[in-house]
Structure 1
């Protein structure tokens, strides 16, 4: 378990990210990791944060869960990620769903696109992995005046005695330096990032939902997390997965598991010229 000397917060997450390779989890990530719910995209559309036919860039796109949702509401979407393995899964999932997005390899801190090219830049479940000041500055660069940055999260919630808290404790037993435990799904530092980069009209929105998972799907979701298959040796991943299966059978046998999650976003607008 962690102790009082263990680094916490966004800086600890980014430092831990140096040892994370999500490409190793691409299959589990695509199969088991629930994407942003439709209610998130409904909120984005209702608030006017994303409207067709806007051109959007989704940085840290991973398997394209946010890119696909934006494409479904009529946006022209480009997804960007450093992992070709994850983007290959994104392309496959797009084809299965019948939506289209373009994917390019790159980093949030040095976007391989020209100035003022996009109406919207999104970052779903990934801002903590970036050099945030550089990513915010690059985001501002590639947005047109009046364009919007939208940083979003869909986080499980560890509550006393629930399956998330028990799962996090098991992850920490195998990976004590994992920095992703005990989250609240709220990220006030991201507001400072936006303000420092010159964004205005900064606001947030959030709501909680229950996300259903079968036991097998929850195991796959956890294998795909940063603290397990993306950072542990394969033999330890197998041992962890076996222990998690035993824990679920013993303490959380209900089907499906109802896993509490929080949807949270922060958004701001690039000043008009």
Structure 2
């Protein structure tokens, strides 16, 4: 499956809910976020993590390989009155100076990287004692839920073996593989936390959120995306007419320290 999130950057920026405030508050309580922290947000996408870090007073450099996503991220940062230094670069080869940062964050993107290379690059960027955070904000799909119905429709329009990345979270939003990734790169003091949140979506915003999915707007032809969206709108109106929809999510974060 060829994935290009740049094709769906508009829906991604408008409809993909970012990490909740509670995520950044938890990182602050862990001592990772405070004014003056030099942070790098890899795989920034539309910059949801980068903006959260900047709001906590961090000096933020944000990277992504997609020019359209970075354009959206810059616009959203400007609207929010936040100063963030955006660069087009991969997480595995950032081009940033060594031992110059206190924090590296990868939000909702680690599975897209060459993970061993990205972990080694994070270690190179960090000062001794610097921290790496790998985080996810995944929806959950209880039986009979709108999320389960949504996933079934995605499968119908984009059939075939499930992409490998879907197996990493085990369908429950937990990522044990990442512990090995960071340990192999020399990180120590590994800790993790999880908590659940419910995110409200209107029908329109949930449709936009799903158009921004890797298996829909980022990979299907435009004509197929349009057919999917029409079918999806009818499904929601018939089976889940209430608004807003209540979409359960699980936040997962792995924190690791560069010796």
TM category (shorter chain) comes to over 0.9
Q: Do residues 75 (structure 1) and 63 (structure 2) align?
A: no
Q: How far apart, in 1, do the equivalents of 2:218 and 2:63 lie?
A: 19
| Aligned partner (choices 182, 187, 201) of residue 213 of structure 1 | 201
Match of 2:72 in 1: 89
Which residues in structure 2 correspond to 1:172-251 (within 5 Å)? 172-177=155-160, 178-179=162-163, 180=166, 183-251=171-239
State the TM-score, normalized to the length of structure 1: 0.91
User: Could you tell me how far 1:112 is from its partner in structure 2?
Assistant: 1.0
User: Could you tell me how far 1:183 is from its partner in structure 2?
Assistant: 2.1
Match of 2:127 in 1: 144
- Structure 2: segments with no counterpart, 5+ residues: none
Q: How far apart, in 1, do the equivalents of 2:241 and 2:97 lie?
A: 52
Match of 1:11 in 2: none
Which residues in structure 2 correspond to 1:36-51 (within 5 Å)? 36-51=19-34
Q: Do residues 31 (structure 1) and 2 (structure 2) align?
A: no
The CA RMSD measured in Å over matched residues stands at 1.1
User: Could you tell me how far 1:49 is from its partner in structure 2?
Assistant: 2.1
Task: Please state whether the residue corresponding to 1:171 is helix, strand or coil.
Answer: helix
Q: How far apart, in 2, do the equivalents of 1:123 and 1:168 lie?
A: 25
After superposition, the C-alpha distances for 1:43-86 in whole angstroms (9 at most, x for unaligned) are 11111122221100000000000000000000000100000100
Q: How far apart, in 2, do the equivalents of 1:110 and 1:99 lie?
A: 26
Q: How far apart, in 2, do the equivalents of 1:131 and 1:176 lie?
A: 25
Q: Provide runs of 4+ in structure 1 moved above 3 Å.
A: none
Match of 1:166 in 2: 149
- Structure 1: segments with no counterpart, 5+ residues: 1-15
Q: Do residues 114 (structure 1) and 102 (structure 2) align?
A: no
Aligned residues: 254
Match of 2:37 in 1: 54
| Aligned partner (choices 138, 153, 178) of residue 136 of structure 2 | 153
Q: How far apart, in 1, do the equivalents of 2:127 and 2:69 lie?
A: 28
Q: How far apart, in 2, do the equivalents of 1:111 and 1:145 lie?
A: 19
